[in-house]
Structure 1
Amino acid sequence: MRNLEDIIGTPFEDILVGNEKDNRIWALESNDLLVGNAGNDSFYGGEGIDVLSYRRDPNGVTVNLQTGDAIDGWGNRDRIADIENVAGSTHDDNITGDDTVNVITGDAGSDRIYGLGDDDKLYGEFGEDEIYGGEGGDSIYGNQDRDTLTAKRVETTSEVAMPTT
């Protein structure tokens, strides 16, 4: 199919991929993967646990689930609603969660990741990342690169593995 601008998912698990146009993508029910590509896109997650992926973007992205705003890797503005999880690009990203449970993955690049509220899982992956937990009981994962991990509140034993040189 070509020249589509709007995509509506099914009640089942969907992979919904936009094109270079300004897309409106509705995930509906279930756990879905949404990918916008270029264009000023609007993403509506709906029921289930949904992932918004920017992995294919040619440059770093800025995503804020709290405000519902994003700038994709093409420099376009995206709108976000009812999305729980974000997968960043392979470049330097700035990703902020919201007050619900989020899984945020930075991928490659030197990323800044902010968890905000609830019990988040925050993954820096490759690159020199800065990862900040929020109010909840977050799980924060760096990598073998020089990462900065900041926890708001530590109530249990923390485990830090440092590579030997």
Structure 2
Amino acid sequence: MNGEFQIDQKQLPPGTRLIDVLREQVGITGTKEGCGRGECGACTVLVDGRPVLSCIVLAARVSGAVETVEGLAEESTALRAAFARRAAFQCGFCTPGQIVRGTALLRRGLPESEAELRTAMSGNICRCTGYEGIVDALRDAEADDGAAPDVPFADQTWSRTS
């Protein structure tokens, strides 16, 4: 590879990071930049099904299919519902990265032990909740029978009656 990268027939500078292409060039903003150093996991996306930290990956080095939290919306319905039921988020900043990494783990099967599951998710930091709700949500999603979620999402109509 010669370091050149094009998107929509526009050449990007050689040092352009994958997260910058996703957010600024493509307009996909679900992927968040937290630390910018590959330490927090907020920027996690999948490249050919494997979690990568898009804030430290040069776009020109990416070869394969890139999946973001937006692209996983349908597949991650059970996991998102479980996150809501288990109160696995508060501020929500880390949630897209957690959902992406969690989806990758669910695809191949969660580790059996809680310690192994926590290790598998350790690349994604949550400053608000701790990890019990996240681990519980992953287990719930794994056991989900495909039933419709019992919590509303932004793309669903919801109203409260007094």
Pick the structure with more strand per residue.
1
Query: Whose Rg is larger?
Result: 2
Pick the structure with more helix per residue.
2
Higher relative contact order (CA 8 A, sep 6+): 2
TM-score (norm 1): 0.28
TM-score (norm 2): 0.29
